[in-house]
């Protein structure tokens, strides 16, 4: 039996951070608890004082686990969170030295997984876990000393408990997060890597090896009812794509409808394909708050460049079905992708002007390049160069073209804020030093963007 303290670094007060309920860390803690280890979860939203006094360090822990959810801030104009994580880890290590304590330090989480080796090094950790954490943390807890001083990462593995164990979160932690305005909690339904291959997306890498496990409906029902009982009214199903397996997605929607929990609403990332009439009809009245799709561009050539497995015809059909069933739709578009030109912006804007209602467009400019993606490979950039936000090179005129081409009804204060944030982030970035492996379309003056600052325009 080991003593393990788990620290939610996503709850640190940092510019551009809005902490959300730490479900990943709770999965890890639940696995440890069930195996008989002694655990404590430290969350600075739940107990802000723990940040100042670090009293939890006195617990004679064998293992300290840190979760890093986001590398990049929500606000594109804020700098990275990495410096705050490094400073906090330094502080913890200094305090441990002062107390003569030497537990094994472990890192994990989705943001951490993207830059595992770099972060092990920069945070001075003993070991980092890439992907699902339950089995790996059990390995560490079962024999902490064998992980001391490794300075490397291990790959997470499939966790069978996902199929059998109901997650029941502690009331005090739940209460800390239900207090937030319009609080939303994540719920996992599947452990399955997304089958699509969007060029900017690292999900397959983050999710790691998994057997495509689908959570049984009775366990999902217990989790949702428990969450509702503790006061949450909004849930987000955390799948890469909620409806990539339509049959299972229909079961989940059927379950939410059947539970009919008072005031409960939900959302998720959807794809326009597969999406049939029956699914559209089921969604109506299910409490779905937003059917979010991410074509990212509405120009077929750029969509192909991005690696999308559907085109504008599928988006049109999806919109028709949504209209028929009165579904609240959100369409994510990120201008400035590979091969974006004056003409492709015009095509996308035309599609938007003709087919979207005023409140349906969510728009950003600039693709944050992440490790283990096709964009990173195209640019030949190393993880080191990507740790501080770097954008895929795009023509700076994109900002003007978007304003020129979109109907004025879309040029809202929110859209202007996104554009200004994108511009501000872009200005802060330096020229890429190494010559990118991509050839920009002729006739465009590309600004090569990399270096400190910025953020990601796209979270899916």
Which residues of this protein are in contact with ligand B12, per CB under 6 A?
18, 20, 23-25, 27-28, 65-67, 69-72, 74, 106, 108-111, 113-114, 129, 132-134, 136-137, 184-186, 188, 202-203, 206-207, 236, 238, 240, 370, 456, 459
**Shortest separation between residue 22's beta carbon and ligand SF4, angstroms:** 21
DSSP one-letter string for 30-96 = HHHHHTT-EEEEE-TTT-THHHHH-GGGGG--SEEEEE---SS-SSTTS--SHHHHHHHHHHHHHHH
Nearest to 342 by CA among 289, 291, 301, 293: 301
194 binds ligand SF4 (CB under 6 A): yes
**Shortest separation between residue 362's beta carbon and ligand B12, angstroms:** 10
Which is nearer to ligand B12, 272 or 455 (by Cβ)?
A: 455
Which is nearer to ligand SF4, 3 or 460 (by Cβ)?
A: 460
196 binds ligand SF4 (CB under 6 A): yes
Residue 241's binding partner among ligand B12, ligand SF4, none (Cβ under 5 to 8 angstroms by kind) is ligand SF4
> What 3-state class would DSSP assign to 290?
strand
Count of Cβ atoms closer than 10 Å to residue 102 Cβ: 12
27-46 positions binding ligand SF4, by CB under 6 A: none
What are residue 190's phi and psi, to 5 degrees? -140, 155
- Rounded distance, CA 404 to CA 199, Å? 28
DSSP one-letter string for 404-418 = HHS-GGG--HHHHHH
295 binds ligand SF4 (CB under 6 A): no
- Rounded distance, CA 150 to CA 137, Å? 15
Residue 11's binding partner among ligand SF4, ligand B12, none (Cβ under 5 to 8 angstroms by kind) is none
460 binds ligand SF4 (CB under 6 A): yes
Instruction: Tell how strand 190-191 and strand 213-214 pair up.
Output: antiparallel
**Shortest separation between residue 382's beta carbon and ligand B12, angstroms:** 16
Q: Are 59 and 50 in contact (CB under 8 A)?
A: no
With b for 16 or more beta-carbon neighbours within 10 A and e for fewer, the 323-334 pattern comes to eebebbbbbbbb
Which is nearer to ligand B12, 208 or 393 (by Cβ)?
A: 208
Residue 196's binding partner among ligand SF4, ligand B12, none (Cβ under 5 to 8 angstroms by kind) is ligand SF4
**Shortest separation between residue 135's beta carbon and ligand B12, angstroms:** 9
**Shortest separation between residue 111's beta carbon and ligand B12, angstroms:** 4
334 binds ligand SF4 (CB under 6 A): no
**Shortest separation between residue 327's beta carbon and ligand SF4, angstroms:** 19
Q: Where are the beta strands (DSSP E) in 183-239?
A: 184-187, 190-191, 213-214, 234-237
203 binds ligand SF4 (CB under 6 A): yes
| # binding residues, ligand SF4 (CB under 6 A) | 9
Which is nearer to ligand B12, 133 or 337 (by Cβ)?
A: 133
Q: Are 106 and 65 in contact (CB under 8 A)?
A: yes
Stretch that binds ligand SF4, among 91-99, 190-198, 280-288, 347-355 (CB under 6 A): 190-198
Which is nearer to ligand B12, 188 or 251 (by Cβ)?
A: 188
Residue 198's binding partner among ligand B12, ligand SF4, none (Cβ under 5 to 8 angstroms by kind) is ligand SF4
Q: What binding mask, one character per residue, do residues 237-276 give for ligand SF4 by CB under 6 A, x or -?
A: ---xx-----------------------------------
**Shortest separation between residue 457's beta carbon and ligand B12, angstroms:** 8
Structure-token pair, residue 351: 């599609």
Which is nearer to ligand SF4, 150 or 460 (by Cβ)?
A: 460
Stretch that binds ligand SF4, among 96-104, 193-201, 285-293, 371-379 (CB under 6 A): 193-201
**437: preceding bond cis by omega (within 30 degrees):** no
CB contact set of 380 (below 8 Å; sequence gap of 6+): 434, 436, 437
- Rounded distance, CA 301 to CA 338, Å? 10
Count of Cβ atoms closer than 10 Å to residue 394 Cβ: 24
201 binds ligand SF4 (CB under 6 A): yes
Q: In the beta sheet, which residues pair with residue 38?
A: 3
CB contact set of 355 (below 8 Å; sequence gap of 6+): 315, 316, 319
Residue ranges in contact with ligand SF4 by CB under 6 A = 194, 196-198, 201, 203, 240-241, 460
């Amino acid at each position: 039996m080991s003593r393990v303290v788990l620290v939610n670094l996503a709850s640190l007060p940092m510019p551009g951070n809005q902490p959300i309920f730490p479900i990943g860390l709770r999965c890890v803690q639940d696995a440890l608890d069930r195996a008989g280890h002694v655990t404590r979860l430290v969350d600075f939203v739940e107990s802000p004082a723990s940040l100042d006094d670090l009293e939890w360090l006195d617990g004679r822990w064998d293992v300290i686990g840190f979760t890093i959810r986001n590398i990049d801030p929500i606000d594109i104009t804020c700098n990275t969170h990495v410096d705050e994580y490094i400073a906090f880890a330094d502080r913890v290590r200094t305090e441990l030295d002062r107390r003569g304590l030497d537990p094994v330090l472990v890192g994990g989480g989705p943001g951490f997984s993207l830059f595992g080796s770099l972060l092990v090094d920069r945070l001075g950790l003993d070991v980092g876990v890439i992907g699902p954490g339950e089995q790996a943390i059990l390995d560490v807890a079962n024999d902490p000393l064998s992980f001391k001083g490794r300075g490397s990462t291990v790959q997470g593995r499939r966790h069978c408990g996902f199929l059998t164990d109901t997650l029941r979160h502690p009331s005090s932690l739940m209460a800390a997060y239900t207090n937030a305005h319009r609080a939303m909690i994540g719920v996992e339904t599947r452990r399955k890597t997304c089958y699509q291959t969007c060029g900017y997306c690292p999900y397959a890498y983050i999710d790691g090896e998994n057997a495509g496990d689908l959570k049984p409906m009775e366990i999902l029902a217990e989790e949702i009812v428990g969450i509702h009982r503790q006061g949450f009214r909004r849930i987000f199903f955390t799948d890469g794509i909620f409806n990539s397996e339509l049959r299972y997605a229909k079961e989940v929607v059927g379950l939410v409808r059947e539970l009919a929990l008072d005031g409960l609403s939900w959302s998720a990332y959807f794809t326009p394909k597969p999406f049939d009439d029956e699914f559209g009809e089921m969604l109506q009245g299910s409490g779905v708050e937003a059917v979010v799709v991410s074509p990212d561009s509405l120009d077929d050539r750029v969509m192909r460049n991005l690696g999308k497995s559907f085109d504008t015809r599928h988006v049109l059909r999806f919109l028709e079905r949504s209209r028929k069933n009165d579904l609240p739709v959100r369409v994510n578009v990120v201008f400035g992708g590979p091969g974006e030109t004056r003409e492709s912006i015009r095509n996308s804007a035309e599609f938007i002007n003709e087919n979207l209602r005023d409140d349906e467009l969510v728009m950003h400019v600039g693709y944050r390049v992440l490790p283990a993606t096709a964009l990173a490979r195209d640019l030949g950039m190393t993880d080191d160069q990507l740790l501080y936000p770097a954008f895929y090179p795009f023509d700076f005129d994109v900002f003007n073209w978007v304003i020129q081409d979109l109907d004025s009804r879309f040029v809202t204060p929110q859209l202007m804020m996104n554009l200004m944030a994108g511009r501000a982030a872009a200005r802060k970035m330096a020229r890429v030093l190494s010559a990118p492996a991509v050839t920009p379309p002729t006739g465009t003056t590309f600004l090569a963007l990399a270096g400190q600052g910025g953020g990601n325009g796209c979270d899916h």
